[in-house]
Amino acid sequence: MAAALPGNIRLKLEQTLAQWRQWDCHPGLPGAPTVVGLLTRGLSNYSVLVEAGRCFVVRIDGINPAAHSLNRQGEWHSLGAAHRAGLAPAPRYFNPELGSLVCDYLEPDALQPLTVADVATLLHDIHQLPARHHRLDLAERLLGYEKRAAQHQPVPAARLSALRPAVMRALSRAQWGQHPTVLCHHDLLRANRLYSAGRLYALDWEYSAMGSRWYDLAVVAAGDAMTPEQVDTLLQVYLGRTASAAERQSVERYGCVYRYLELLWYLAQDHPGLGPLLPEERLAGLTTALERADQHPTTPA
């Protein structure tokens, strides 16, 4: 299986496995891990299942993290704190030079439902984790992806840029007032959540940073295409009370920002063959969300 990986990825995997004695495992591993199979081959990373008495996931960078504003050192610290709180798999090894990260493998449950109350509880617990120095600046993140998108896919990027003024208006309104930042996951979509032994865990902490709880909630609401009723449940369980109109507006406006950022992310990738460069249904969804957000007055959350 490893032979099917690109040469540079295969080499980094082999070097990571060769460092097995440095993996933080107690008791230590009985021997060098062997490759079981490829779990995912995403646009950003390769995840490989390996076994050495028990199973681990080895993730190898498929992109330059710095070019995508990813803080791997910060991710390692967030992951460790999340594991200690029972929210994430145990991290075992981290080598930024190889672009590799090793974590325990969590056996997935047969059913992986969308249980909104569980997601809300998981987000609430994530937001109680210790603060970090790294902070997400959404305006800066948007600008970085806009520049990369314009370089990689100038025609669809130009179409998308027509919505920029409305997106920045939504961002400004969402940030109106004073909101304390918390440690956020920033990518807690269904692909990054896993039920194992009946418990819901958060995976893939590469975008974790200090940020707005309302944006983190909006990522889940918009990214999972939740219905208005599901969003109400998400906020009710998260807050322990009914959300105010201003709080719902914050999530709605941040949802516009996330939808825009998601489209930029696809256009900014180095990988060819992504299919539709600007999916019309996603673009239509963003346009509708922006129109709806513009109809509401600015109210502090």
Residue 187, pLDDT above cutoff 60: yes
Average pLDDT rounded to a whole number, residues 19-25:
97
CA angle, 297 then 300 then 301, to 5°? 115
DSSP string, 135-167: B--HHHHHHHHHHHHHHH-HHHHHHHHTTHHHH
Residue 50's pLDDT is: 98
SS3 264: helix
Query: What's residue 270's pLDDT?
Result: 66
Q: What is the pLDDT of residue 68?
A: 73
CATH topology of domain 2-104: Phosphorylase Kinase; domain 1 (3.30.200)
Residue 80 to residues 13, 59, 67, 143, 203: CA-CA distances in angstroms? 22, 16, 24, 30, 12
Q: What pLDDT, in 10s, does the model give residues 235-257?
A: 999 999 999 999 999 999 999 99
Q: Residue 298: pLDDT above 70?
A: no
User: How many C-beta atoms surround the C-beta of residue 125 within 10 A?
Assistant: 15
Give the Cα separation of 253 and 295 in Å (integer). Answer: 11
pTM: 0.93
Predicted pLDDT at 178: 67
- Assess whether pLDDT exceeds 90 at residue 62: no
CATH for the stretch 116-294: 3.90.1200.10
Going from N- to C-terminal start, the domains of the chain cover: 2-104, 116-294
Q: Give residue-wise pLDDT tens across range 196-233.
A: 999 999 999 999 999 999 999 999 999 999 999 999 99
Candidates 195, 223, 196; CA nearest to 207 is 223
